[in-house]
Structure 1
Amino acid sequence: MAAHAAALALIPARGGSKGVPGKNLQDVGGLPLVVRSIHAAQASHRVTRVVVSTDDHAIAELSRDAGAVVVQRPQSIAGDSASSESALLHALDALACPSQSPNGLEANVVFLQCTSPFTTGAEIDKVLAALDQPKINSSFAVAPWHGFLWRADGEGINHDPNAPRQRRQDLEPSFLETGAIYAMRTTNFRAGGQRFCPPWQPVVLTDPGPEIDTLQDLALCRSLASVLSS
């Protein structure tokens, strides 16, 4: 079997959050969210290093204890308006120096979000595997979406309200970006600065689990983790 290109896992995990205070330190299934993401990356067969970018001392300590490398994120890119890309690019620049990466950066980078607590190593590998195709420069996780989508003005997006009502299973397949996993060729991402480096490839995950944006989402994930562990 051919060797896979090495991948660097990058996990942005700042200390602040408006929707869920201290979100990345919240416990789900007995583990803080940032540690769950680290463990998922460590379970990947393609990831060779796991790096957490954070401005928070508690997150940094937990991440090191879990076996991740920590990059200290400057306050200038740690606020609510800072993009994930700014944290990723800063981390790559910090890691690019010979003392940090004597053999250079890994060929691929996979960006994981702590807000997806049920990400698995196998799912990370599946998204990274899309980059085995020479023509693909980035990939991302999507999930099948089975439902009728509407615009606020009453127009149908994936259906015609004026036509006879279709069965849901007869709709043209739609796929929802999960927000959990993004993979990019490192060179292309550093050059363009965006997670979507063309050409890109969506990768379908059948059951990626919920994402945490609100306290209600957090409660749901805690309940689900309790059921899954029982």
Structure 2
Amino acid sequence: MDLCVIPARGGSKRIPRKNIRDFCGKPIIAWSIEAAHSSGCFDRVVVSTDDDEIANVAKRWGAEIPFRRSVELSDDFAGTIPVIVHAVEWCINQGLNLDSVCCLYATAPFVDSGDIAKGRELLNTALPDRFVFSATTYSSPIQRALRLDPLTGQAHMWHPDQFFRRSQDLEPAYHDAGQFYWGRAHAWLQVSNLFEGSVPLLLPRWRVQDIDTRDDWTQAELMRRAQSIQFID
């Protein structure tokens, strides 16, 4: 059985009720639920939550809520891996034969069902104890990154020896796109680092946006609306 787990706790602080807030016409979690179903990859699409309202919204959009998360897995310090491990262990305890498990974030309105399917294809060619995750390039070379002195406010390069190198000569760097992570059920039970040695599915930057602050949310809505514009000759 291939399982999709969408983590969605109720206690978002920076953007209250973030996981079910309206995003361009529907709750933001609905974008992820719909993409999961459209991918054709999953036998079950499950939302892991501690919150009644999130559970009800998720059910209306076609997800299952077969269990609830504990308080310990729902506070501000709860990580993704323990949440997925909890879901995997619940399924195992129910006698379900799990093969692949995909963690799909609730606030990933740019996730594409085709990318989810490509992720599963990559998983089938990767090492059995590794993961496949969505990633993209940094928009600027990280070798030219700056930091600010907290006392003086002055700028300093993290790597001043890179100042005279041309941008095109610097090695590209990548970061987690914050959309999904594919892995075998047994790998989720053993993992401590999702990225080390795993395989990225590279996405264009215009389809990637973290949503952690209100500014992020506004930018994501503008991106979504821009992408929905139909140009007619």
What TM-score results when the alignment is normalised by the length of structure 2?
A: 0.84
Corresponding position of 1:154:
157
Q: Aligned residue pairs: how many?
A: 216
In the alignment, is residue 29 of structure 1 matched against residue 35 of structure 2? no
Measured after TM superposition, the shift of residue 151 of structure 1 is 5.2
In the alignment, is residue 20 of structure 1 matched against residue 15 of structure 2? yes
Q: Which has the higher helix share?
A: 2
Whole-angstrom CA distance in 2 between matches of 1:146 and 1:209: 11
Identical-pair percentage: 29
Measured after TM superposition, the shift of residue 197 of structure 1 is 7.3
Whole-angstrom CA distance in 2 between matches of 1:76 and 1:200: 28
Measured after TM superposition, the shift of residue 200 of structure 1 is 1.3
Q: Within 5 A, what are the aligned runs for 1:195-210?
A: 196=194, 199-207=197-205, 208-210=207-209
Of 43, 60, 63, the residue aligned with 2:58 is: 63
Corresponding position of 1:218:
217
Specify every segment of 5 or more residues in structure 1 that has no aligned partner in the other structure, as ranges: 1-5
86 and 135 in structure 1: CA distance in 2 versus 1, 3 angstrom threshold: closer
Whole-angstrom CA distance in 1 between matches of 2:140 and 2:221: 26
Q: Render the CA deviation track for 1:140-199: whole Å, top value 9, x for unaligned.
A: 111122413225352338x711x3x41x34432221211211111111111x14462764
Amino acid in structure 1 at the alignment position of 2:136: A
Structure 1 moving runs of 4+ over 4 Å: none
Whole-angstrom CA distance in 1 between matches of 2:102 and 2:158: 37
What TM-score results when the alignment is normalised by the length of structure 1?
A: 0.85
Q: Within 5 A, what are the aligned runs for 1:101-120?
A: 101=96, 104-105=97-98, 107-120=99-112
Specify every segment of 5 or more residues in structure 2 that has no aligned partner in the other structure, as ranges: 148-155
In the alignment, is residue 76 of structure 1 matched against residue 72 of structure 2? yes
In the alignment, is residue 130 of structure 1 matched against residue 128 of structure 2? no
